[in-house]
C-alpha cells in the first residue's frame, strides 16, 4: 500500500506528463469560440497548404549515401530516419542535407570513416516510421538520427498516438544496439504562409508534441535535441533560412539545425571531445523528465537524456533527465562535405 506522500508524488508526475504532452488538439478552447473561428482556421489551413505545395520541390535532393572520410577501422554506420526535414527537402545538393553535413562532421571527430544511409521519407508521419526502422535494422547502425513531427502537427494527429510510434521506433533501434538521437518537432508557428490565429495554435501544438516526444524518447533509451526554437525565432527574423516554399529550411537553415544536433550525436557514440565542452556548454541541470521536456521544448538546441541521481534513475516524480544547452558547433561546409566523400573513394 502506498503512503500519502507516494500518492501525491505520482499525481504530480502524472500531471506534469499531461501538461508536457498537451491535450488532444481539439482541447484548445476552440469549442467555445464558435463555428466562425473554426471555419476561419480551416480556410487558413487550406490556403497555407496550397501555397506551400505549389512552391515545394517535387523531387528530394540526392541522398548522399556512402562512406565519408578516411581512416582505419570499420566505418561507423549512421542512419537518418524521419520526414522531409531529415531528407533535406528544399535544397538541391546532397552536400547541403543534414545527413551529409553530420556524416562529414562525425568522420572528423571520430577519425574513422562514416557510412551514411538515409532512410527518411518526405511527408512521413510518426506512424510511418516502422518500415524505416525495418530498413535501418538491416544496416546494423551504430547511431540513428530521427527528425519527425511536423506532419503529425499539420494532420492534427493526437500527441499520444504520435509518440507511441516514435517510442517504439527508438526502443527497437536501442534493442539492436544503436544509439538514437531525435530532433524534436520544429516550431511551425514561424511559417509565413500560415496566418493568425492558426500560426499561434501551430506554435502551441508544435511545442506540446516536442515535449511529449522528449518524454517518450528518453524513457525508451534515446536522447533528444530541441529544434523548436532553432527553427523558430531566428527563422522568423531571417527569411534566408527558409527555402523558396517558405516551409522547409534552406541550405543555411539545415546547416543551423545540424550544428545543434552534432554534439548529441557525437556524444552518443563517444566521439565528442571533452575539451569541446569548454566554452560551448552553456548550462546543465537535472530535472524529472516531464519537467525537462517542457523546459526543453522552448529552448534552442537543448539536449535531454536520461541520468541518475544518487545512483537511481528514478525519483518521486519519475525518471531523471539531464538538460544540456550547448552553443552550436562548427560543421564542414558543403564543399568540405563533398571532399570527405571523395576522399573515401579516392
Mapping DSSP onto H, E and C, the string for 144-161 reads: EEEECCHHHHHCCCCHHH
pLDDT at 202: 73
- The grid coordinates listed for 266 are 557525437
> Where in the sequence is the domain holding 267, given as residue range(s)?
34-345
Residue 230 belongs to a domain: yes
Low-confidence ranges of the chain (pLDDT < 70): 1-58, 189-199, 229-248, 275-283, 345-346
Distance CA 268, CA 223 (A): 8
Q: Which residues are catalytic?
A: 84, 245, 248
What CATH number did the domain enclosing 141 receive?
3.40.50.1110
**Dmax (CA) of the chain:** 68
Residue 10 lies in a domain: no
Question: CA nearest 137: which of 163, 102, 169?
Answer: 169
pLDDT at 281: 61
Q: What is the pLDDT of residue 2?
A: 42
Contact 238, 318 (CB under 8 A): no
- Residue 204 lies inside a defined structural domain of this protein: yes
Q: Is residue 6 one of the residues assigned to a domain?
A: no
pLDDT of residue 228: 74
Cβ atoms within 10 Å, residue 255: 21
Q: Which residues face 146 on adjacent strands?
A: 81, 182
Cell numbers that stand for 238 in this block: 531571417
Q: What is the pLDDT of residue 237?
A: 53
Q: Which residues of 42-68 are buried (b: 16+ CB within 10 A; e: fewer)?
A: eebbeebeebbeeebbeebbbbbbbbb
- Please report whether residue 299 resides in a domain: yes
Which three three-digit cell numbers place residue 225? 535535441
The answer to the question of residue 82 being in a domain is yes
- Please state the separation of Cα 169 from the chain's center in Å: 14
Domain count, the chain: 1
Upstream peptide bond of 308 is cis (omega within 30 degrees of 0): no
Residue 90 in any domain: the answer is yes
Residue 3 is assigned to a structural domain of this protein: no
Q: H/E element holding 105?
A: helix 98-110
Amino acid at each position: 500500500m502506498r503512503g500519502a506522500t507516494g500518492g501525491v508524488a505520482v499525481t504530480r508526475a502524472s500531471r506534469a506528463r499531461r501538461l508536457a504532452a498537451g491535450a488532444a488538439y481539439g482541447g484548445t478552447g476552440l469549442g467555445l469560440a464558435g463555428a466562425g473561428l473554426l471555419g476561419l482556421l480551416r480556410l487558413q489551413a487550406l490556403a497555407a497548404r496550397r501555397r506551400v505545395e505549389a512552391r515545394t520541390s517535387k523531387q528530394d535532393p540526392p541522398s548522399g549515401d556512402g562512406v565519408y572520410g578516411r581512416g582505419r577501422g570499420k566505418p561507423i554506420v549512421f542512419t537518418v530516419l524521419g520526414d522531409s526535414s531529415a531528407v533535406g527537402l528544399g535544397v538541391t545538393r546532397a552536400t547541403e542535407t543534414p545527413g551529409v553535413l553530420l556524416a562529414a562532421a562525425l568522420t572528423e571527430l571520430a577519425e574513422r570513416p562514416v557510412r551514411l544511409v538515409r532512410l527518411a521519407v518526405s511527408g512521413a508521419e510518426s506512424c510511418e516510421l516502422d518500415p524505416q526502422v525495418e530498413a535501418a535494422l538491416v544496416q546494423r547502425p551504430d547511431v540513428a538520427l530521427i527528425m519527425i513531427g511536423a506532419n503529425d502537427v499539420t494532420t492534427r494527429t493526437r500527441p499520444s498516438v504520435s509518440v507511441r510510434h516514435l517510442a517504439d521506433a527508438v526502443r527497437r533501434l536501442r534493442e539492436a544496439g544503436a544509439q538514437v538521437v531525435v530532433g524534436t518537432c520544429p516550431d511551425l508557428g514561424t511559417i509565413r504562409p500560415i496566418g493568425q490565429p492558426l500560426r499561434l495554435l501551430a506554435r502551441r501544438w508544435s511545442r506540446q508534441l516536442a515535449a511529449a516526444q522528449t518524454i517518450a524518447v528518453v524513457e525508451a533509451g534515446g536522447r533528444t535535441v530541441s529544434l523548436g526554437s532553432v527553427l523558430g525565432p531566428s527563422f522568423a527574423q531571417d527569411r534566408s533560412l527558409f527555402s523558396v516554399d517558405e516551409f522547409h529550411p534552406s541550405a543555411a537553415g539545415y546547416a543551423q539545425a545540424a550544428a545543434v544536433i552534432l554534439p548529441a550525436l557525437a556524444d552518443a557514440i563517444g566521439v565528442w571531445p571533452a575539451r569541446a565542452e569548454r566554452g560551448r556548454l552553456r548550462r546543465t541541470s537535472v530535472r524529472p523528465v516531464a519537467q525537462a521536456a517542457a523546459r526543453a521544448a522552448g529552448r534552442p538546441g537543448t539536449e535531454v537524456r536520461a541520468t541518475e541521481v544518487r545512483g537511481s534513475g528514478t525519483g518521486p516524480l519519475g525518471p531523471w533527465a539531464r538538460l544540456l544547452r550547448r552553443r552550436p558547433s562548427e560543421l564542414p561546409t558543403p564543399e568540405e562535405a563533398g571532399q570527405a566523400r571523395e576522399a573515401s573513394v579516392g
